[in-house]
Structure 1
């Protein structure tokens, strides 16, 4: 008679066999899953699609900034967004207009990333596209896969490719490509740029320039000499018409800005870019003989990154008119020399501009001078803005936005007229490149780097071509080196520039 296995032992053996079969099936399923993921990752990488977007849907995208209203809705005043009054340079895509009748903007100035995420999460669940496996996997596993696959880093790279950012590699790393064009922008920014080109609020007449038909790519020395010869820094004077008819014209400085300031040996142009945050450039910036800052960019609390010295503050007329900026009372505007500007119609004279300013620059100027009579305060002649715009257009291979250049480029050219050497910080993005618009705010939008209202993309192209510093300086410090106009010897290039005069 054979030996009988007890029933309890049989149950244990059967259980072990079942567990073994289940383990084999689990390993097989996991292997198939990993192979599927690998194939999907390969396909996504080849097509520059973030893998988490393909798998988990839009919500798995790197959390950069709230989805902005389309520019069409902005222009029509639709979209249900609360009207906010902000600087168009801070939130590209907004058309300057009457400050008493603000228009909706792409996103609010004080619209934090955290608040926008909550609003987006609660209000747009039905509109979001979900990925194939979003409902199969829990949130912890999704995040683990994002980390394992390096999806966030690769998503940033893919986004940079889609937006055409910095595709030229230099000695120090990835540099800004000075052949950037609107075709390299993403769909949203291309739409914004096209709208501004079609609007032509200022009546820009392309027949007065080359209209995007560049004859040849000019070298850096040629561009520098062209700016020196054709860009003249002019400020409003009491004897100019129609101001000589007004009593308040006596408040205008009697000495030109270029005579009252400088000459300086070294100057720093400090942009307001978000990539200045944690840069630790404060001491280097303050070591310059003169420092120019822009609009409402503060120094208090940010000294380690941006320094504390302010020699010139260049402000646009909308900042002057905005109640949010407290222009008449804020101590921010009480240090250094103030230089204001407002875009005039393209072919207008001073009389026409006086009656058709974007914002009430002259009203605010008079009030400020009454409150602060000792503060040096100049107003740029509007011809400078459009002269510089022509230089941009003449040196680009496609039509640019028919809007004036940014304060950043205006300030750079201004300091080139006053200084022997000009260092421009974070106008061209460094390795700290971020979608954060300003170092003192928590608002993110790639438009602040690539441009929308202002032709920033083309301005950066121009500055990159004129740079006398190294690619390593741009990559590590975000620093561009430009020579002052008085240091240039343009005798050899004068003949080649004659045909390009405005």
Structure 2
């Protein structure tokens, strides 16, 4: 008669067997999870997409600032570590930035510098990716996975339509670009901003439905000259007249204090300025305008060294990471600041409802640098310019103010006889690299997200008096100054054509 296992022992054997089975299942699941994550990381590495973006959805950083850490040096000593601020103008190539408080640009997928250098001279045709994933998976399955994870743009027919709008081989901006040609990601971001309406933009039914004939370049120039007024804050304006610090505001408007200049250069911060060798040409102008935190030291060969005016937004002024009060970057040339006000507000309402504390920072800076010329743009200019954009586009644009790039361009058109704008319209060096001083790429920097950049470029292209060759080779647009442009002939010819 065989040995009979007691019930209690049998239960222990059964429990051990169940535990062993669960352990095997756990190991299998862990191996499967690790393999899945390995494939995901490989896919993201090949397509330069952060893994978190691939999992939770690629989200356009609409003001196009990379995930960067502030620049600090660590001094080690008896007292431990001590962070020390490093002036970004003296350490070129990297600019500090808070990913939660990015800088508005003229203009988001992260790419390495090596990838951007390889892509600089490629045409609209995208290169095939090669890597471990391409070796492990067949092409159809790889494309399916990339499409699911939102990391491949070639499969997006809208993006292909956008690329087709550039002249073959010679990449020249076409002034009929529209949001329908954007990729799915940017199209959704633009739609969200149109619906968001943070600044309470409202147009009358006649204005909203105003879609007249497409104006010629001279007609657009005359509209800008007539309808966009360059005004800066002065101490006698309300509510500033009642404040003790009003004396810090310039007594004369900016357009009276400087200029006129014969030739002016508006230097964008675009990544396509890198390796452009335009520095000498830019510095040859009588006045040069730069934007926000764009440095010159270390980049003189491409962007020059002269700075006559630096146009900055209130966000740069207020962010601790940009060290506005202490950096030598802002101490050369004249400063002109701006902050978006509610669409229909007056100065009193704007003063109490600024996007960022522009007036507090202005007072602090003026106490530190009382001799430097420092102006604040009247917010009405921003929305006058926005209306011009909307009136001359065939579709609704983002209900956000224009970019610093367009504001600076129109500002200099009021001060100069001839204005050359560099890399606002992309040249043959067209790249998604956002800034020439940062290794960060995003199509939003060229096509726009927060700012209506796409439409701004359309407007500038229509007004260009230079050649397409200048745009292609140098990214250079030529615009006349308002004072040198005769609108009487344009008005007469327009009236005769209507008759």
Would you call these one fold, judging by a TM-score over 0.5?
Answer: yes
Is 1:410 aligned with 2:407?
A: yes
**Unpaired stretches in structure 2, ≥5 consecutive residues:** 1-39, 63-67, 70-97, 116-130, 143-151
Is 1:135 aligned with 2:136?
A: yes
Which structure 2 residues correspond to residues 253-292 of structure 1 after superposition, within 5 A? 253-292=250-289
Is 1:352 aligned with 2:329?
A: no
3-state SS of paired residue (1:386): helix
Q: Name the residue aligned to 1:85.
A: 100
Q: Name the residue aligned to 1:164.
A: 162
* Aligned residues between the structures: 394
**Unpaired stretches in structure 1, ≥5 consecutive residues:** 1-55, 76-80, 93-105, 117-129, 143-153
CA contact under 8 A between 2:158 and 2:182: conserved in structure 1? no
Q: Quick one: which of 236, 241, 250 aligns to 2:238?
A: 241
How high is the TM-score relative to the length of structure 2? 0.72
Alpha-carbon separation, structure 2, partners of 1:209 and 1:297: 41
Q: Name the residue aligned to 2:17.
A: none
* Structure 1 residues 212 and 335: CA distance shift in structure 2, 3 A: farther
C-alpha displacement at 1:88, in angstroms?
A: 4.3
Alpha-carbon separation, structure 1, partners of 2:347 and 2:455: 28
Q: Quick one: which of 343, 359, 362 aligns to 2:359?
A: 362
Q: Name the residue aligned to 1:471.
A: 468
Q: Deviations over 1:331-365 (max 9, x none)?
A: 00000000000000000000000000000000000
Is 1:379 aligned with 2:394?
A: no
C-alpha displacement at 1:175, in angstroms?
A: 1.0
C-alpha displacement at 1:90, in angstroms?
A: 4.2
* Structure 1 residues 350 and 279: CA distance shift in structure 2, 3 A: same
Alpha-carbon separation, structure 1, partners of 2:440 and 2:448: 15
RMSD value, Cα: 3.5
* Structure 1 residues 419 and 115: CA distance shift in structure 2, 3 A: closer
Q: Name the residue aligned to 2:228.
A: 231
3-state SS of paired residue (1:398): coil
CA contact under 8 A between 1:317 and 1:340: conserved in structure 2? yes
* Structure 1 residues 380 and 436: CA distance shift in structure 2, 3 A: same
Q: Deviations over 1:152-185 (max 9, x none)?
A: xx98898895261462438x82311100110000
Alpha-carbon separation, structure 2, partners of 1:73 and 1:231: 31
Alpha-carbon separation, structure 2, partners of 1:446 and 1:385: 24
Is 1:447 aligned with 2:444?
A: yes
How high is the TM-score relative to the length of structure 1? 0.72
* Structure 1 residues 160 and 268: CA distance shift in structure 2, 3 A: farther
